[in-house]
């Protein structure tokens, strides 16, 4: 893939879209070098849900931009004028087991489960360390994704295009 091709759109899903999916979105947008455009959403974000401040803090400390990050429902990505996804990755076990919307274009899907760093009643410094560890686990997996050869990424896109053509 060269920089003249369209980036691969990746959607990270979790239940509330406040921790793991936000970390993955920010990291891939930082690491993707224009080859990827990452988004995140939740299956059931709470009313007025915001990204977890500890997650934003570990991203900022790692030099990753948090600008524009917000918690949102996956319904935003299931409408006709939403960006078309090439790959959808669930990052929590709850979202992996839920009935997902029918995504336009039938993108490739994967599950990358991570424990919830915000869960429990631990002190903030303990939770901050959990967020840091989760961020590093996600980063390691994303490094593998962004370093895939261009032909592997193009095959995924071609598969999606072929699926679309079968519907016409």
pLDDT tens digits, residue range 73-92?
998 988 888 898 888 888 98
Q: What is the pTM of this model?
A: 0.86
Alpha carbons 113 and 111: distance in angstroms, whole number: 6
Alpha carbons 93 and 161: distance in angstroms, whole number: 29
Strands 36-42 and 108-111, bridge-based pairing: unpaired
Of 16, 36, 30, 7, whose CA–CA distance to 135 is shortest? 30
The percentage of residues in the chain with a pLDDT greater than 90, rounded to a whole number, is 45
Which contiguous run of DSSP H or E holds residue 139? helix 124-146
Q: How confident is the model at residue 43 (pLDDT cuts 50, 70, 90)?
A: confident
- Between 13-22, 50-59, 139-148, 153-162, the lowest mean confidence (pLDDT) is in 153-162
Alpha carbons 54 and 125: distance in angstroms, whole number: 9
Q: How confident is the model at residue 109 (pLDDT cuts 50, 70, 90)?
A: confident
Per-residue confidence (pLDDT) for residue 127, from 0 to 100:
94
Q: How many CA atoms lie within 13 A of 82 on its CB side?
A: 21
Q: How confident is the model at residue 111 (pLDDT cuts 50, 70, 90)?
A: confident
Per-residue confidence (pLDDT) for residue 60, from 0 to 100:
97
Position 2 pLDDT exceeds 70:
no
Q: How confident is the model at residue 36 (pLDDT cuts 50, 70, 90)?
A: very high
Cβ neighbour number for residue 56 with a 10 Å cutoff: 18
Position 139 pLDDT exceeds 80:
yes
Alpha carbons 12 and 96: distance in angstroms, whole number: 11
Structure tokens at 135: 């961020």
Which contiguous run of DSSP H or E holds residue 40? strand 36-42
């Amino acid at each position: 893939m060269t920089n003249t091709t369209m980036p691969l759109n990746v959607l990270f899903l979790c239940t509330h879209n406040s921790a793991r999916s936000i970390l993955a979105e920010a990291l891939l947008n930082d690491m993707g070098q224009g080859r990827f455009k990452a988004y995140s959403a939740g299956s059931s974000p709470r009313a007025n849900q915001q990204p977890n401040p500890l997650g934003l803090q570990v991203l900022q400390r790692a030099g990753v931009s948090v600008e524009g990050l917000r918690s949102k429902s996956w319904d935003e990505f299931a409408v006709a004028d939403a960006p078309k996804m090439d790959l959808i990755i669930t990052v929590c076990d709850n979202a992996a087991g839920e009935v997902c919307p029918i995504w336009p274009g039938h993108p490739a899907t994967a599950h990358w489960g991570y424990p919830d760093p915000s869960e429990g009643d631990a002190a903030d410094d303990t939770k901050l360390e959990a967020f840091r560890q989760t961020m590093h686990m996600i980063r390691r997996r994303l490094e593998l994704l962004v370093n895939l050869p261009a032909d592997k990424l193009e095959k995924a896109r071609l598969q999606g295009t072929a699926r679309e053509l079968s519907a016409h």
